[in-house]
């Protein structure tokens, strides 16, 4: 039997910090200590780059070569363009509305910069980067890369011109997303028109949070403003989202990975010994080569 899911907390954006010289982000979890390491499992980290304007430059800003192991990075662009390269030979440009889903798994070197042509003009950047944990049995799988264009998302048109649900991963009322994941995940962009509403039903045991990308929404008579994150309790399935004006909401919901977790630096593993091994493998060049 369905039951209304309650709001556990509404989090304002934490103080921003720079990642490299190209990404000004608010770290909602786990770095600000508000949610801990496991509360949004399988989502381990969320850096939200709220809207910021970058002036033109001939030298693209970004983050130089760095390693990853034990998880996936999911980058969602709302404004701006970012170029990606990794030591597995993958590269591409994450355009406005697109997603890059990189499975680091056993280990890759990675770098990301503002797209060179976009940098020459400058403009607004707004992005989300998630770290999605991998279960222990998949942490040492081979790396892979899923470049997903916005036009490839599953699209569910809401009735009465209410808007669109863009399904990146999972399934909304029979509309499926193109991304493959190692554990069950629901990830949608909900784009609402003025004076509209949408009903969502997500498994009670899934850890669930919404990030308001644009506008503001109302849930259970509580208003959530733009750039705020709402965490839901695991006490029901049904959530109704209302918008008086145009709004965009990122929906994150996933089955938790009930395993020990030991993160350190750019690695997310299950034990201290595995972290030490990751650094040893990195020092020995086992993550490949990538020019900075």
Res 32: pLDDT: 67
7-254 CATH, one of 3.40.50.261, 2.60.120.10, 3.40.50.300, 3.30.465.10: 2.60.120.10
What is the tens place of the pLDDT at every residue in 102-133? 999 999 999 999 999 999 999 999 999 999 99
Q: Which residues contact 86 (CB under 8 A, 6 or more apart)?
A: 102, 108, 109, 110, 111, 143, 145, 290
Identify the three-state secondary structure at position 166.
strand
**CA separation for the pair 66, 20 (Å, rounded):** 11
C-alpha 52: how far from chain center: 18
Can you say whether residue 153 is alpha, beta or left, with left for phi > 0 and alpha for psi between -120 and 50 degrees?
beta
Res 1: pLDDT: 61
- Write down the domain spans for the chain: 7-254
Q: What is the bridge-based pairing of β-strands 82-86 and 108-114? A: antiparallel
Report residues of the chain scoring pLDDT below 70.
1, 32-33
């Amino acid at each position: 039997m369905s039951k209304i899911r309650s709001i556990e907390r509404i989090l304002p954006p934490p103080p921003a910090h720079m990642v490299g010289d190209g990404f000004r982000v608010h770290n909602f979890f786990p770095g600000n200590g508000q949610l801990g390491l496991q509360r949004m499992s399988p989502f381990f980290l969320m850096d939200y780059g709220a809207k910021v304007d970058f002036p033109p430059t001939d030298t693209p800003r970004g983050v130089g070569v760095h390693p990853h192991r034990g998880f996936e990075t999911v980058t969602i662009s709302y404004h701006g363009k970012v170029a990606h390269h990794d030591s597995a030979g993958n590269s591409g440009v994450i355009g406005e509305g697109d997603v890059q889903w990189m499975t680091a798994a056993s280990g890759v070197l990675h770098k990301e910069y503002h797209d060179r042509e976009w940098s020459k003009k400058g403009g607004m950047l707004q992005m989300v980067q998630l770290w999605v944990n991998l279960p222990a049995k998949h942490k040492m799988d081979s790396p892979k890369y899923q470049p997903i264009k916005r036009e490839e998302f599953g699209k569910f048109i809401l009735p009465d011109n209410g808007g669109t649900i863009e399904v990146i991963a999972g399934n909304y009322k029979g509309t499926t997303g193109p991304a493959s994941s190692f554990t069950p995940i629901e990830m949608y962009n909900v784009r609402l028109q003025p004076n509209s509403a949408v009903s969502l039903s997500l498994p009670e045991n899934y850890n669930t949070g919404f990030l308001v990308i644009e506008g503001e929404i109302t849930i259970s008579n509580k208003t959530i403003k733009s750039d705020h994150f709402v965490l839901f309790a695991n006490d029901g399935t049904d959530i109704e989202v209302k918008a008086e004006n145009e709004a965009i909401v990122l929906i994150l919901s996933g089955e938790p990975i009930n395993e020990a977790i030991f993160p350190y630096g750019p690695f997310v593993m299950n034990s201290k010994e595995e972290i030490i091994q990751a650094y040893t493998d990195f020092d020995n060049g086992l993550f490949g080569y990538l020019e900075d």
